[in-house]
A and B are shown apart, each in its own frame.
Chain A
Amino acid sequence: MKREPLSFKQTVYLLILFIIGSTIILPVGTEAKQDIWAAVLLAIVMTLPVVLVYARILSLYPERNLLEINEQILGKVVGRFINFLFAFYAFTLCALVLDNFGQFINVTAIPETPLAIPMLILCLLALWATKEGLEVIARSGEVYLPIIVFVATFTFLFLTPNLNINRLQPSLYQNSGGIVSAALHLFSFPFAETVIFTIIIYCTNKTKAMAKVYLAGLLIGGGIILLSVTSVMAVIGPERYQASYFPAYLAVQTINVGDFLQRVEVVVFLIAIFAGFIKISLCFFAACKGLSNALGCKEYRFLTVPLGLLEFLFASNLFNSTKQMAQWASEVYLYFAFPFQVALPMVIWILGEVKRRGRQGSPEVDLHDELR
Chain B
Amino acid sequence: MKKSICVLFVFWHLFVLWSMTGCWNFREIRDLAIVIGASFDKKDDQIYLTVEVLSPKGGEQEQGATGSLGITPQLFEGSGKTVFEAVRNMISKAGRKLYWSHARVFIVSEDVAKEGIIQIIDWINRDAEVRPQTWILVSKGQAAGDILRTQSKLFDTVSMQIDTLLRNQGNSGKLLGVTVGDFLEEMQKPGVGAVAPIIESVKDGREQIPQVKGSALFKGEKLVGFLDGEETMYLLFLRNQMKKGTLIAVTAQQPKANVSLEIFRSHTTKTVRLVDDRPVVDIWVDCLSGIAEISEENDVISERGSQKLTERTNKELRNKITDTIKKVQNEYGTDVFGFGNLIYRERPDLWETIPKGGWAKVFPTVDTNVNVNIMMRGSAKLSEPTRIGE
Taking a contact as CB atoms under 8 Å apart, the answer to whether B128 and A108 are in contact is: yes
Taking a contact as CB atoms under 8 Å apart, the answer to whether B348 and A170 are in contact is: yes
Residues 129-155 (chain B) with a chain A CB within 8 angstroms: 131-133
A166: interface (CB < 8 Å): yes
Choice from A166, A239, A253 contacting B131 with Cβ under 8 Å: A253
A369: interface (CB < 8 Å): no
B346 nearest CB across to chain A (Å): 7
A49: interface (CB < 8 Å): no
Taking a contact as CB atoms under 8 Å apart, the answer to whether A117 and B184 are in contact is: no
Please measure, in the bound complex, the distance between the C-alpha atom of A263 and the C-alpha atom of B344, giving whole angstroms. Answer: 33
Chain A contacts for B349, CB-based, 8 A: 173
Residues 318-368 (chain B) with a chain A CB within 8 angstroms: 341, 344-346, 348-349, 351-352
Taking a contact as CB atoms under 8 Å apart, the answer to whether B348 and A173 are in contact is: yes
Least CB separation from B347: chain A residue: A170
A233 nearest CB across to chain B (Å): 12
Choice from A112, A170, A240 contacting B25 with Cβ under 8 Å: A112
B23: interface (CB < 8 Å): yes
B377: interface (CB < 8 Å): no
B181: interface (CB < 8 Å): yes
A210 nearest CB across to chain B (Å): 43
Taking a contact as CB atoms under 8 Å apart, the answer to whether A170 and B344 are in contact is: yes
Contact with B along A165-181 (1 / 0, CB 8 A): 01001100110000000
Choice from B23, B185, B341, B352 contacting A110 with Cβ under 8 Å: B23
Chain B contacts for A117, CB-based, 8 A: 24
Taking a contact as CB atoms under 8 Å apart, the answer to whether B185 and A236 are in contact is: yes
Least CB separation from B24: chain A residue: A113
Choice from B185, B344, B345 contacting A240 with Cβ under 8 Å: B185
Chain A contacts for B181, CB-based, 8 A: 236, 240, 250, 253-254
Taking a contact as CB atoms under 8 Å apart, the answer to whether B23 and A254 are in contact is: no
Contact with B along A40-71 (1 / 0, CB 8 A): 00000000000000000000000000000000
A111: interface (CB < 8 Å): yes
Least CB separation from A237: chain B residue: B185
Chain A contacts for B132, CB-based, 8 A: 250, 253
B216 nearest CB across to chain A (Å): 21
Choice from B23, B131, B344, B351 contacting A113 with Cβ under 8 Å: B23
A259: interface (CB < 8 Å): yes
Residues 219-272 (chain A) with a chain B CB within 8 angstroms: 236-237, 239-240, 243, 250, 253-254, 256, 259, 262-263
Residues 89-129 (chain A) with a chain B CB within 8 angstroms: 107-114, 117
Chain B contacts for A253, CB-based, 8 A: 131-133, 181
Chain B contacts for A111, CB-based, 8 A: 25, 128
Chain A contacts for B24, CB-based, 8 A: 110, 112-114, 117
Least CB separation from A265: chain B residue: B131
Chain A contacts for B278, CB-based, 8 A: none
B319 nearest CB across to chain A (Å): 28
**Given the interface contacts A109-B128, A112-B24, does A239 sit within 8 Å of B167 by beta carbon?**
no
Taking a contact as CB atoms under 8 Å apart, the answer to whether A239 and B346 are in contact is: no
B189: interface (CB < 8 Å): yes
Chain A contacts for B23, CB-based, 8 A: 110, 113
B188: interface (CB < 8 Å): yes
Choice from B128, B131, B167, B346 contacting A169 with Cβ under 8 Å: B346
Residues 148-173 (chain B) with a chain A CB within 8 angstroms: 167
Chain A contacts for B345, CB-based, 8 A: 166, 169-170
Please measure, in the bound complex, the distance between the C-alpha atom of A170 and the C-alpha atom of B272, giving whole angstroms. Answer: 14
Chain B contacts for A239, CB-based, 8 A: 185, 188-189
B379 nearest CB across to chain A (Å): 31
Least CB separation from A112: chain B residue: B25
Chain B contacts for A256, CB-based, 8 A: 133
Please measure, in the bound complex, the distance between the C-alpha atom of A170 and the C-alpha atom of B189, giving whole angstroms. Answer: 12
Please measure, in the bound complex, the distance between the C-alpha atom of A112 and the C-alpha atom of B25, giving whole angstroms. Answer: 6
Please measure, in the bound complex, the distance between the C-alpha atom of A250 and the C-alpha atom of B133, giving whole angstroms. Answer: 10
Least CB separation from B187: chain A residue: A239
B366 nearest CB across to chain A (Å): 18
Please measure, in the bound complex, the distance between the C-alpha atom of A111 and the C-alpha atom of B129, giving whole angstroms. Answer: 9
Least CB separation from A164: chain B residue: B185
A124 nearest CB across to chain B (Å): 14
Choice from A109, A113, A170 contacting B346 with Cβ under 8 Å: A170
B7 nearest CB across to chain A (Å): 23
Please measure, in the bound complex, the distance between the C-alpha atom of A5 and the C-alpha atom of B280, giving whole angstroms. Answer: 67
Chain B contacts for A166, CB-based, 8 A: 341, 345
A103 nearest CB across to chain B (Å): 12
Least CB separation from A255: chain B residue: B133
Taking a contact as CB atoms under 8 Å apart, the answer to whether A174 and B25 are in contact is: no
A155 nearest CB across to chain B (Å): 16
Please measure, in the bound complex, the distance between the C-alpha atom of A237 and the C-alpha atom of B188, giving whole angstroms. Answer: 10
A38 nearest CB across to chain B (Å): 15
Contact with A along B1-41 (1 / 0, CB 8 A): 00000000000000000000001110000000000000000
B302 nearest CB across to chain A (Å): 40
Taking a contact as CB atoms under 8 Å apart, the answer to whether A113 and B188 are in contact is: no
Chain A contacts for B131, CB-based, 8 A: 253, 263
Residues 130-183 (chain A) with a chain B CB within 8 angstroms: 166, 169-170, 173-174
Contact with A along B179-197 (1 / 0, CB 8 A): 0010011001100000000
Chain A contacts for B351, CB-based, 8 A: 170
Please measure, in the bound complex, the distance between the C-alpha atom of A108 and the C-alpha atom of B351, giving whole angstroms. Answer: 37
A300 nearest CB across to chain B (Å): 28
Please measure, in the bound complex, the distance between the C-alpha atom of A117 and the C-alpha atom of B23, giving whole angstroms. Answer: 10
Please measure, in the bound complex, the distance between the C-alpha atom of A240 and the C-alpha atom of B133, giving whole angstroms. Answer: 14
Chain B contacts for A262, CB-based, 8 A: 133
**Given the interface contacts A112-B25, A259-B167, does A174 sit within 8 Å of B348 by beta carbon?**
yes
Please measure, in the bound complex, the distance between the C-alpha atom of A174 and the C-alpha atom of B132, giving whole angstroms. Answer: 32
Please measure, in the bound complex, the distance between the C-alpha atom of A10 and the C-alpha atom of B341, giving whole angstroms. Answer: 47
Chain B contacts for A254, CB-based, 8 A: 133, 181
For the complex with contacts A170-B348, A240-B184, A262-B133, 6 further pairs of A-B residues with Cβ separation under 8 Å are A108-B128, A111-B128, A112-B24, A169-B345, A169-B346, A173-B348
Question: 10 tightest A-B contacts by CB?
Answer: A113-B24, A112-B25, A239-B188, A169-B345, A170-B348, A173-B348, A237-B185, A170-B345, A110-B23, A111-B128
Q: What are 13 sample pairs from A and B whose C-beta atoms fall under 8 A apart? A: A112-B24, A113-B25, A169-B345, A170-B344, A170-B346, A170-B348, A236-B181, A237-B185, A240-B185, A240-B188, A250-B132, A254-B181, A263-B131
* Interface residues, chain A, with chain B CB atoms under 8 Å away: 107-114, 117, 166, 169-170, 173-174, 236-237, 239-240, 243, 250, 253-254, 256, 259, 262-263
